[in-house]
Structure 1
Amino acid sequence: MSKKNKKESKPTKEFIFQKRNYLFLFIGLAFIALGFILMSGGGSDDPNVFNPDIYSFRRIRLAPTLVLIGLGIQVYAILLNPNKNKK
């Protein structure tokens, strides 16, 4: 066997994820980060004073929904097969 044949038979290294997977991963991370940012705040400096802002729509419904949507996008990005739609 010559050296040329040995080099040709080497398996090529490929990444598991492609550009499309990473795009969806970053979109999912943005949703999760936005959800956690919207959840923050609403506290009170004085522990003896109650602040009803902690029960606002933004913190109870919107922010956790964004986090769950972001996690769903992450799962989709991991399971996405970018080679399936190539022509």
Structure 2
Amino acid sequence: MENKNEFAFGRKNYLFMIVGLVVLAIGFIIMTLDAEPYGEGFMGITLGPIILVIGFIIEFFAIMVKDRKKA
């Protein structure tokens, strides 16, 4: 019988998820800090979205990585 108090992911997964969420938040904040109107400068169109993509990659990795303790 399975232990019902077990989480779906391990500690490593949750740490990566938190890091990914922080990176996503930083990406959105960078996009709002652009001085150009409507966020059409370098920070709003280039740097912010690149940081967001990195954050989503970290989140994908956090979901897909297998925790060694859970295996």
Extract structure 1 runs of 4+ deviating beyond 2 A: 51-55
Q: Where does the alignment leave 5 or more consecutive residues of structure 1 unmatched?
A: 1-9, 44-50
Q: 1:12 aligns with which of 3, 27, 32?
A: 3
Q: CA RMSD in A?
A: 2.3
- What is the DSSP-based 3-state SS (H/G/I as helix, E as strand, rest coil) of the residue aligned with 2:12? helix
State which structure, 1 or 2, has the greater radius of gyration over its C-alpha atoms: 1
Q: TM-score, normalised by structure 2?
A: 0.80
CA distance in 2, matches of 1:55, 1:25: 30
CA distance in 2, matches of 1:18, 1:25: 11
If each structure's helix is expressed as a fraction of its own residues, which one has the higher value? 2
Fraction of identical pairs, as percent: 38
Q: TM-score, normalised by structure 1?
A: 0.67
